Structure 1
Amino acid sequence: MRNVSRGTSEPRFTGQVQLGDVQGQAWLGWRELLAVVDEELTAITGTSADHLPDQIAASQALITEALNRPHTSAADYLELEQSLLSGHRFHPAPKARSGREDEVRRYAPELGARFQLHYLAVRTELMRETHVSDATPTGEEAVPDGYRLLPVHPWQYAILSRGDELPAALADRRAIDLGPSGPSMRATSSVRTVAADDNGFLKLSLSVLITNCLRINPWHEVQAAVMLAGLLEPLRRDLATRFPGTVLLRETSGLTAGLGPGLADQLGVIRREGLAGRLQPGVQAVPAAALTEPVPHPALARLLERITADREVLLDWWQRYVRLVVPPVLHAYARHGVVFEAHLQNVVVGLRDGLPVQLVLRDLEGVKLVRERRAEDLAAMPARVRAHVGTPQGRGWDRVAYCLLINHVGGLVAALADRDPMAEPALWEIVSDVLSGVEPFAELEGVLAGEPVPAKTNLLTRWRGAADRDSGYVPLYLPFPA
């Protein structure tokens, strides 16, 4: 393994891995490398990650299969969502998913998953629904009198059908199985968020472990997303005015069914606004994560080849990108006490003629409010919602800084530098310049003065089998020019 130092940047590692000892050197496969890592991390944590080898193997197998799936040369937005073959760039097992192997493959976005939703009719008195004031309540087409319609991910329906509570609810007609119906939906990169086109998205509950979390929608999280959609309306207008082209997709309604103690959280649904009508003329929506793929979609491969073939073009493109993405997120934190988790999979970038011109922020369920800044708003929320949404300022900065500066900006710098290694110092210099132009606040001034940025410990989080909310952070110094 070569230690590659690029100017002022942190070391990067490429190539095959060698283990040196007194007998010489040996090439290591990933299993052998994991054994070495296991020895080190077991000494640190006192625990061996017996679950991790199988997760890495499953992730690798899915990536290998996805690499063999052909893509069309042109791409609509959902095709780009499904083009993320490697996923989280610095996660040890980004494509590992719990569950039956045939179901993992059937519903994998990387394999082009398409399917109809499964519908239940649920007794009206058992339904819970919330929506923002200007949202249209969910429809009741083809539902018997006294029942309400509930969409379910077909994978979730299969999982719940193997339990006790859903069959019991169907047996006593608290719910009626309507079966699959409706348009063909495509899974986005998050697996559980689906859409038929770009007019709207459904974020469905899925009792499957994906990266670090079981991807269900507990009712208090559904409530939180919809409450934030209304609460953040002044911020949405402010961002659109201060940073033209910035769009915040609202989560306008949510519902679930109280069919049993364990089912309400496993049936939660969140409806999210679509991109249609929110993009400027001639703008193509691109998931930011798709720009970091080692094997990008052909449509993006052509763009990346073009901008990295000429250093001047690359630096101009990157300056536009950073100016588009970074200031609005920092403004929301510093001036509004709002924590956007602007990591690569939560951001959509609008390109016109290949140039970044629009920023789309999504996934309000992950948004937090800084307790010290938004105490009045938090006090008005139900207790479980308040506990989910509120965050102390220090932890809020951890999330903003990691998601925006490490995961997003750092991940895209790494991807661009893979194509033009000598450009990396200049790319970080542009980041420093843009940060210097943001209205100052204490944490940002610290970063510009050389203080470290909190970086999430993805390997240790996965090692311990912990949820994202329990992740640790370590200090990481950004490679800004002296």
Structure 2
Amino acid sequence: MDRVDFKPTVFPALTRGDTDEAADAYAAAPLLNCLLREVAERTPEPGVHRLPGGALLRVRGTRRPVEPEVHADGAWRPLGHPELVRLTADELFRATGVANTELPAEMTGSRDVVAALLRARARTTPPRDPYRRSEQSLILGHPHHPAPKIRGGGPAADWLPYAPEAYASFPVDLLAVREDAVVEDGDTTALDAFGEAPPGYRLLPAHPWQLALTRYSPAIREAFADGRLLRLGRTGRPLWPTAAIRTLYAPDEDLFVKFSLDVRITNDIRRLWRHDLLKLRATDAATAAAFASLGGPAAWLSDRGYRTADFAFEELAVLVRDGFAGHLLPGATPLLAAALVEGFEGSPLDRLTDPADWWAAYLRQVVPPVLETFARHGVVVEAHLQNTVVAVDAQGLPVQALFRDAEGAKLLPGVTREAGWERLVYCLVVNHLAELAALLAERFPGADPWPAVRAELLRRATDGDLPEIAALLTSPTLPGKTNLLLRWTDADGADARYVPLPNPLATS
């Protein structure tokens, strides 16, 4: 099979150095994906969709729609990003009867963040390490979110020094918390390697951005004043942010640390919430045990524990996560799955002339562990693109999958089996496999990635403890999360509502 000379047609302005035009295209693509998935209706004419108010919207492309046009006064009129935001707001009000002034501002803000990131990248050398390059490659971000790059609305000077997409690395602040004010659970001893606390205190690393955001907190100001909290300086070596922004990797210590970050990123204020921290250890222990029982190369990067201060439990919390030691196969190179979809320099997909063997190997590493942990242990892994790291060998062939984020994992019967399976299907199939399948079909005309997905699922169905697979393979629809409508109606960030999407597994 011949590979086309693939270029990301969604962002043609990049080749001309037009940052503003490129930012418009980056911002419009996920917004259009949301609008077409959640609100619009298809018409018989390819690329043309009818909106709730009756207007016709035309786009080019399917995976990353571009060049939106609206039909008005008998002609097609191009929509710039500001016009697309206004159109979206009007149509959502018609569809829901709910008004919202925050989300349009977030859409515009997300676009402005992209522009700032593109300008920063133009004067920065990409990191040499392929894993870091993959984690810090996501300019587009979530392909089905109306404002995937929002950074809380602050000026670029506040967030750009900590942006993974700008290839940032930086030292973190070191605080000391008086021992009688420390709250922790699990194994947090790795934090003590970042510095040395004075007698009677415990070390507490802090994200510089979060520390700046909490500088007006009365509880934290009082703790600094009365000596319960001390400043010790910063780490001697820099850490670098992963795609999750608030999760940093310390390469010398081979350790991930996750912080609270009181800004809105996609659907949530990214704070380590007390209720999540209190159940974290039980969720992580169950998930780690489930992966340990699999017997294959798949691995779980455990959230070992957290440390914080009782006077700022959520604001100053820091979570300790396993690095790769003891998990990663010798000689394998880890790569973020989301980066494979968006593309980055050095991606193994760039070497392929026929995707069949690579795709089969990918499915063999990613799919069985997620199904096994659900069927045998009642664990619902949030196996979406940003929580999955795929390790490849020297030829770029997938040899291992590593999963992370106990905060997003669910346990049965804490959620019903039906709800757990729906979440699994959305994260694994819709959010993850469907995105890669669409990319492969785009890069390799004539390729159909879905029969291989169906075959991998059928292999697991023969054990009989996952009757849901048979229904999945015959269902006419799959669940697609409604990120646009969730934000428009100001639903809780952890909420999940779905719209039915055509199921390619039923016809492959």
Tell me the TM-score normalised to structure 2 length.
0.82
Cross-structure match for 2:14 = none
The alignment partner of 2:237 has SS state of: strand
Cross-structure match for 2:206 = 152
Cross-structure match for 1:162 = 216
Offset at residue 350 of structure 1 (A) = 0.3
Cross-structure match for 1:19 = 70
AA partner of residue 305 (structure 1) = D
Offset at residue 331 of structure 1 (A) = 1.5
1:228 and 1:404 mapped to 2: Cα distance? Answer: 19
Structure 2 alignment gaps of length 5 or more? 1-31, 33-44, 49-60
The alignment partner of 1:400 has SS state of: helix
Offset at residue 82 of structure 1 (A) = 1.0
Cross-structure match for 1:392 = 416
Q: Give the alignment of 1:49-448 within 5 angstroms.
A: 49-68=100-119, 69=121, 70-72=124-126, 74-101=128-155, 102-131=157-186, 136=189, 138-139=191-192, 141-197=195-251, 199-239=254-294, 241=295, 244-259=296-311, 263-293=312-342, 296-300=343-347, 303-307=348-352, 310=353, 313-352=354-393, 353-371=395-413, 390-423=414-447, 426-439=448-461, 440=464, 441-448=466-473
Offset at residue 457 of structure 1 (A) = 0.6
Structure 1 alignment gaps of length 5 or more? 372-389
Offset at residue 90 of structure 1 (A) = 1.6
Greater Cα shift, 447-456 or 401-410: 447-456
Greater Cα shift, 26-35 or 72-81: 72-81
Offset at residue 403 of structure 1 (A) = 0.5
Cross-structure match for 2:26 = none
- Is residue 212–residue 465 contact of structure 1 (8 Å, CA) maintained in 2? no
Offset at residue 210 of structure 1 (A) = 0.6
Offset at residue 453 of structure 1 (A) = 2.2
The alignment partner of 2:456 has SS state of: helix
1:156 and 1:400 mapped to 2: Cα distance? Answer: 32
Q: 1:412-432 deviations in whole A, cap 9, x for unaligned? A: 122223323432xx1112111
- Is residue 340–residue 400 contact of structure 1 (8 Å, CA) maintained in 2? yes
Note closer, same or farther for the CA distance 1:257–1:99 as it changes in structure 2 (3 Å cut). farther
2:469 and 2:316 mapped to 1: Cα distance? Answer: 40
1:71 and 1:322 mapped to 2: Cα distance? Answer: 33
- Is residue 255–residue 320 contact of structure 2 (8 Å, CA) maintained in 1? yes
1:227 and 1:252 mapped to 2: Cα distance? Answer: 11
Cross-structure match for 2:20 = none
Q: 1:116-172 deviations in whole A, cap 9, x for unaligned? A: 11122112111111115xx74642853222221111111111111133221111111
Picking from 94, 98, 122, the partner of 1:43 is: 94
Offset at residue 73 of structure 1 (A) = 8.0
Tell me the TM-score normalised to structure 1 length.
0.86
- Tell me the number of residue pairs that the alignment of Structure 1 and Structure 2 aligns: 442
The alignment partner of 2:227 has SS state of: coil
Offset at residue 221 of structure 1 (A) = 2.0
The alignment partner of 2:329 has SS state of: coil
2:488 aligned with 1:460, yes or no? no
The alignment partner of 2:494 has SS state of: helix
Greater Cα shift, 361-370 or 460-469: 460-469
Note closer, same or farther for the CA distance 1:125–1:89 as it changes in structure 2 (3 Å cut). same
Offset at residue 99 of structure 1 (A) = 4.8
Q: 1:325-367 deviations in whole A, cap 9, x for unaligned? A: 1121012112211100000000000011110110001111211
1:201 and 1:396 mapped to 2: Cα distance? Answer: 27
CA RMSD of aligned residues (A): 2.3
Greater Cα shift, 196-205 or 150-159: 196-205
The alignment partner of 2:90 has SS state of: helix
AA partner of residue 46 (structure 2) = N
